[in-house]
Amino acid sequence: MSFENSKDEFVGKAKEAAGKVSGDKSTEGEGLGEQLKAKASEAKDSASEKLQDAKEKVEGVFNGLKGDK
């Protein structure tokens, strides 16, 4: 997980907890939203990395078939 995503998730958990303790549903909701944002960003980053890996493997196969190294 990137630093930015970790920070957003931590801040989100803190806001959610503060909202629960104080009874402030708005703050609690903001915290949940920040956590979801961090998780979605992490999923996007992971998918991008996997797509790049797959692209490189396919290029390697084609280069191997062509005789390129």
pLDDT tens digits for range 17-40? 999 999 999 999 999 999 999 999
pLDDT greater than 70 at residue 65: yes
pLDDT greater than 90 at residue 69: no
CA distance 21 to 2: 29
Q: What is the pLDDT of residue 66?
A: 85
The answer to whether the predicted template modeling score (pTM) of the entire model surpasses 0.85 is no
**For the chain, what is the mean pLDDT?**
93
Tokens 């992971």 correspond to 46
What token pair was written down for 50? 């996997």
